[in-house]
Structure 1
């Protein structure tokens, strides 16, 4: 199992570790209009899923803005999602204030379905551990990064290279 820290303190991750070659697990989250979304809603797309603890923090803000900028250069076959446990209302407000239009933010606040399915639910905090998942059109995971310390940045370049290689 993946070992991560948050604020340099070890946390317990709930769920199974996802590895390259795995079939991407399904999930149920809410979009900014509180409509339910599942993996099936993105079938046939090349996905980069950016997972953050909360959009209202510095690293999460920067991570989402970085992927928003990159997403503006991708074609229609690509989709960049940001998943957090922030409420849909807060995500919508944050996106409006930040001018983020190329990344779709999804809320896992209700059941932590995504967090449990992808092994990123930090039990002690009921937040999601910072991580990146790239999924091809066939629903296979082709890149995974569980960031070892939750306050650190992911490897943006490697994640975007993995997405563009699809």
Structure 2
């Protein structure tokens, strides 16, 4: 049975329940299984040796999620080959691919948590009420130790882009 955490976050001011542990800087990042497309899955090991910026969005088809993913796509081009930027959402891989094509997003790797919310549960950001992952940022060093975490208190707000990018730069 997964741990449930209440009074951590809201959606438009209404409390929501998160499933999974509260991860902090200094913790070892949990592994995950995410879909790159319908047939291909990836895990944390697929990005071994790289600094990882994991940008979690509830749904790519909303304004803040769209802006967040575009912003990190822009930043990814400036961070170099030692960094991988992953965007995780519960959207189907088809929707993610369609959105990326329409938005011209090509630097961010889109990964889907649609199948079993494996990532959301492992990283403590699965929203019980919606079956979506809460907007959050995780920065992992090349050895998969968490260097930075931001779990948004209000689902509809933007993350602190500068702080996340700064956390990545501090690891380079």
TM-score, scaled relative to structure 1: 0.98
Check the 8 A contact 1:45/1:77 in 2, yes or no.
yes
Residue pair 1:34, 1:88 contacting (<8 A) in 2 also: no
CA distance in 2, matches of 1:8, 1:92: 31
Q: Which residue of 2 aligns with 1:25?
A: 30
Distance 1:136 1:93 in 2: 30
* Structure 1 equivalent of residue 157 of structure 2: 152
Distance 1:116 1:127 in 2: 10
With over 3 angstroms needed to count, the CA separation of the structure-2 counterparts of 1:72 and 1:34, relative to structure 1, is: farther
CA separation in 2, counterparts of 1:43 and 1:19?
20
Question: TM-score, normalization: structure 2?
Answer: 0.94
Q: Residue 138 of structure 1 corresponds to which residue in structure 2?
A: 143
Number of matched pairs: 166
What stretches of structure 2 of length at least 5 have no aligned partner? Answer: none
- Say whether 1:47 aligns with 2:52: yes
Alignment of 1:20-99 (within 5 A): 20-32=25-37, 34-99=39-104
Helix, strand or coil: the match of 1:72? helix
After TM superposition, the runs of 4+ consecutive aligned structure 1 residues lying more than 2 A away are none
Cα distance change of structure 1 residues 111 and 92 upon mapping to structure 2, 3 Å threshold? same
- Report the CA distance between 1:34 and its aligned residue: 3.6
Q: CA RMSD in A?
A: 1.0
Secondary structure in structure 2 of the residue aligned to 1:149: coil
